[in-house]
Amino acid sequence: MTYNIILRIATKVLCPFILIFALYVQFHGDYGPGGGFQAGVILAAAFVLYALVYGLENCRRVLPPQVVYACMALGVLIYAGTGVVSVLLGADFLDYNVLAHGDPIHGQHRGIFWVELGVITTVFGTMVSIFYAIAGRKGLN
């Protein structure tokens, strides 16, 4: 792929749009199909495309494996932290009603936002980590 200028330029043009589409799917998930899981996979797909065209080592320089591993752990912490905050405020685990003082509707929106943020972060990190593990194996043609 090193000398295929059309693929290289097309990838540079498409990657920002893929990232924006992932954010659209993430934030539109409250109102229609989509959400954290789908957005995480789309976000990871942008980096997979980049790695396929520019090489795995270039992708690892842009997105180091340590950042990918941190995303997996951070997403779980955000998800679980939302539930712990609910418990600390006197409700059940992941009961969003208490997350906005006195306004359960806003509490539901806040809770869903934080849980979905945890999901997108974990799914993104997991998908890129799996890709790095498979693509980095020796002997693959």
Which token pair is 117? 């943020």
pLDDT of residue 140: 55
Q: What is the DSSP string of 46-96?
A: HHHHHHHHH-HHHHHHHS-HHHHHHHHHHHHHHHHHHHHHHHHTTS-TT-G
Print pLDDT tens along the chain (141 aa).
Answer: 567 899 999 999 999 999 999 999 998 876 777 789 999 999 999 999 999 999 999 999 999 999 999 999 999 999 999 999 999 998 999 999 999 888 888 998 899 899 999 999 999 999 999 999 999 887 654
HSE toward the beta carbon, residue 66, CA cutoff 13 A? 1
Q: Which residue has the tokens 């229609």?
A: 32
pLDDT given at position 2? 61
Domain residue ranges of the chain, discontinuous segments joined by +: 5-135
Q: What pLDDT shows up at residue 35?
A: 86
Helix-strand-coil split of the chain, %, nearest 5: 80, 0, 20
Whole-angstrom distance, CA of residue 11 vs CA of residue 34: 24
> pLDDT value at position 124?
98
